[in-house]
Structure 1
Amino acid sequence: MKRHGVALGIMAAGALLLTACGSDNNTGATGGSTNTSSSSSAPKVDCSGKKTLKASGSTAQKNAMDLFVKAYNDACDGNDVNYTANGSGAGISDFTGKQTDFAGSDSALDPKKGEPDKAAQACGSPAWDLPTVFGPITVVYNVKGVSDLNLDAATTAKIFDGEIKTWNDDAIKKLNPSATLPSTAISVVYRSDQSGTTDNFQQYLTNAGGWTKGAGKTFNGGVGSGASGNPAVATALGQTDGGIAYVEWSFAQANKLNIASIATTAGGTPVKVSADSVGKAISSAAFKNPGSNDLSLDLSSIHKTTAAGAYPIVLATYEVVCSKYADAATGKAVKAFLTTAINQGQAQLATNGYAPLPDSLKTKLAAAIDAIS
């Protein structure tokens, strides 16, 4: 294993963050199969580019990035990626400041912040947002005597803004007719740090649940107690009877937390989180710029999915790249790295709390990556 390869044993935590503000009148659904073919048909890559790439950004994608780098190490002996997990905002700043070759971000470049223009100026060409790995956010709970729980977006929104205060509230009972729900007070646990997970969760509540508190990386519910980072949230929840929180799936798995099933607009049937149910949601997604190699996603098409059996609280992390690099060797290396990321790099994702790319999206990513120069 090369110096930046990391043993798969540390991959139990982390999930990729996806965020992109929902927009109107979007088309371009990904459609197609949710199956993947990440290794046996992996294309050969040109390893003649820059030997070591430098990148930074999202901490949420760090564990998946380790898998990607390992795959790149194996495919291109002597080539490497030095990735610094310093947060999405810092990653975008490093990229637009020409300190790195690409950025990892749990948000697509934001026009309201002038980020696409700044990135294009740094690149000398348009920058593209490429979603490489997806993972769900789970609603987790700690209620004595309750091991199976159904929620929907509207009820979840009312819980996290404090409108629903006890576990035996009629709205929760309606979704769980066979459960014995206690009168225990609900204790919300939220991320107190600036978090892409919080942003994506609040976007889901806004798009699908009528949440009026706004999105963003700060929790706006106005109730509960905060903890910094997914591990701390998981720990706090485990110590709080009546607690409810939101964490990335791999953290819920690692800490053996109770995970709620989520009812969607597709018949109202509660959906359990799984690689398959997340894949169905991804395949129903639409793009904000259909027909473009910028693949920023319209999250509302996932949050309000009508696909049967699709889990709706899904996030993705983007790799933000130049469409044309001033240095040809850098462009070659970025293409080689991303090619291995969406092929060989997908192999271990499903066992580490992520959802591998559906073939339909993988095809679009491959075309965009091939267009990088």
Structure 2
Amino acid sequence: MKLQRSSALIGAIALGAIALAGCGSDDNSASSSADTSGSTATCEGKDKISAAGSSAQKNAMDAFTSVYIAVCNDKGKTVNVAYNPSGSGDGRTQFIASQIDFAGSDSAIKEEQAAAAKQRCAGNDAWNLPLVFGPVSLAYNIDGVDNLVLNGDTAAKIFNGTIKKWNDPAIAALNEGTTLPDKDIVVFFRSDSSGTTDNFQQYLTAASNGAWTGGAGSDFKGGIGQGAKGSAGVAQGVATTPGSITYVEKSFADQNKLNSAQINTGSGAVEVSTESASKAIANTPFKTPGSKDLALDLKSTYATTEPGAYPLILATYEIVCSKGYDEATTQAVQSFLTSAVNEGQQDLENLGYVPLPDSFKETVSASISSIGQ
């Protein structure tokens, strides 16, 4: 996959609504200045779609919804998408229980949950469709330190409690010329079941040279720190706590005006940005090439040593039934996702995400078109 910067940016998309990342809402009627004239979304099916899950994609979902409302208004139809950013684990659970139409998840649905989702989908597979890419920031709050460099090894030891002070020799060695305080490190982690946690722990497993022994999973396994709910919760915790650090999507770090550590993969320190995350994502393979289920294999991405590539990224999936919806739900889900994968991507870079490349849009669009067939 070759990631490209989006050339067309929509204007302001109801940033006031986007900033409210703590709870879901049925009111997504904010206006959008996007050019919706070329949209291929049909706006057919039921008027209201329900979804829940990843808080990492909450800001993107607000943008998708604002654009979709504008698309359907142009076609003379009133629609809405109620998205609750309750965490990836909760989203998958609600999807399996048929409480929502689709789930947002920073981890692909798998194993026992995939089997349960198949039952929900009337004996058909659930598909993982990645619509949102984003870099994960190691966001910190250290008075007087605007530039901090970490690597996989030091990050793992911070988040498992092996490194306890900011002026630890291992951190100091990566930050020559920077005065680091003799201050305790306060770790914030996601208290809810989180795909961001799973991705972060996968990164630590791949990049820490054995320093991270807790493994991966949606629950934090570092054994230390303070828990906070959702991406907004950990970001706000760091913003109000000097000496603290967390893992959180760049969009939330930016919203809270937090500094983000550079990551040294062995080829120099790399700042978190759309460009550096795109470089890391560029060669990420699918787990099952040729399948309509588009789960990604990120292990090689997390372990990259390519110069200028920021390795700590995540892909957020929309988990849908390949078949098994009633006709009205099939049409509505297809229509919304069609808009999200096309005109919905236009302003994601402004929100701290990485827009889908054109070639990747084609692959995702093919899966969306196959829902219900």
Question: What TM-score does the superposition give when structure 1 sets the normalisation length?
Answer: 0.82
* Structure 1 residues 98-142: Cα deviation after superposition (integer angstroms, max 9, x where no partner): 33332222221121xx22222222223222100111222211222
Map of 1:214 onto structure 2: 215
Map of 1:243 onto structure 2: 244
Residue 360 of structure 1 and its aligned partner are, at CA, apart by 3.2
Question: Which runs of structure 2 are paired with 1:244-283 in the superposition (5 Å)?
Answer: 244-265=245-266, 268-283=267-282
Distance 1:72 1:225 in 2: 38
* Structure 1 residues 323-355: Cα deviation after superposition (integer angstroms, max 9, x where no partner): 234533432322221111011111221112222
**Is 1:48 the equivalent of 2:56?**
no
* Greater relative contact order (CA < 8 Å, ≥ 6 in sequence): 1
Question: Which runs of structure 2 are paired with 1:56-135 in the superposition (5 Å)?
Answer: 56-77=52-73, 78-85=77-84, 86-111=86-111, 114-124=112-122, 125-135=124-134
SS at match of 1:278: helix
Distance 1:343 1:308 in 2: 30
**Is 1:10 the equivalent of 2:11?**
no
Map of 2:9 onto structure 1: none
Amino acid at match of 2:248: V
Distance 1:281 1:148 in 2: 21
Question: Which runs of structure 2 are paired with 1:1-373 in the superposition (5 Å)?
Answer: 7-12=14-19, 44-77=40-73, 78-85=77-84, 86-111=86-111, 114-124=112-122, 125-209=124-208, 210=210, 211-265=212-266, 268-373=267-372
Could you tell me whether the CA contact under 8 Å between 1:131 and 1:316 is conserved in 2? yes
Q: 1:178 to 1:243 in 2, by over 3 A?
A: same
Residue 41 of structure 1 and its aligned partner are, at CA, apart by 10
* Structure 1 residues 45-76: Cα deviation after superposition (integer angstroms, max 9, x where no partner): 33333333333333333332221122222222
Could you tell me whether the CA contact under 8 Å between 2:56 and 2:249 is conserved in 1? no
Could you tell me whether the CA contact under 8 Å between 2:207 and 2:303 is conserved in 1? yes
Could you tell me whether the CA contact under 8 Å between 1:42 and 1:343 is conserved in 2? no
SS at match of 2:134: strand
Question: How many residues were matched structurally?
Answer: 342
Distance 1:43 1:71 in 2: 10
Distance 2:142 2:115 in 1: 48
Distance 1:14 1:361 in 2: 27
Distance 2:163 2:179 in 1: 17
Distance 1:236 1:334 in 2: 35
Amino acid at match of 2:290: G
Amino acid at match of 2:88: S
Gap regions ≥5 residues in structure 1? 1-5, 16-37
SS at match of 2:135: strand
Distance 2:242 2:91 in 1: 38
Gap regions ≥5 residues in structure 2? 1-12, 23-33
* Structure 1 residues 240-282: Cα deviation after superposition (integer angstroms, max 9, x where no partner): 44322222212211221121011125xx221111122222222
Distance 2:302 2:35 in 1: 30
Distance 2:361 2:285 in 1: 14
Give the fraction of aligned pairs with identical amino acids, expressed as a percent.
51
Could you tell me whether the CA contact under 8 Å between 1:12 and 1:250 is conserved in 2? no
Amino acid at match of 2:224: V
Distance 1:178 1:354 in 2: 32
Distance 2:14 2:234 in 1: 25
Amino acid at match of 1:139: L
Could you tell me whether the CA contact under 8 Å between 2:272 and 2:310 is conserved in 1? yes
Could you tell me whether the CA contact under 8 Å between 2:36 and 2:70 is conserved in 1? no
Question: What TM-score does the superposition give when structure 2 sets the normalisation length?
Answer: 0.82
Map of 1:27 onto structure 2: none
Amino acid at match of 2:227: G
Distance 2:81 2:236 in 1: 31
Q: 1:324 to 1:273 in 2, by over 3 A?
A: same
Amino acid at match of 2:257: K
Distance 2:364 2:125 in 1: 16
Backbone CA RMSD of aligned residues: 2.6
* Structure 1 residues 157-190: Cα deviation after superposition (integer angstroms, max 9, x where no partner): 1121122232232322222223233333333233
Could you tell me whether the CA contact under 8 Å between 1:14 and 1:353 is conserved in 2? no
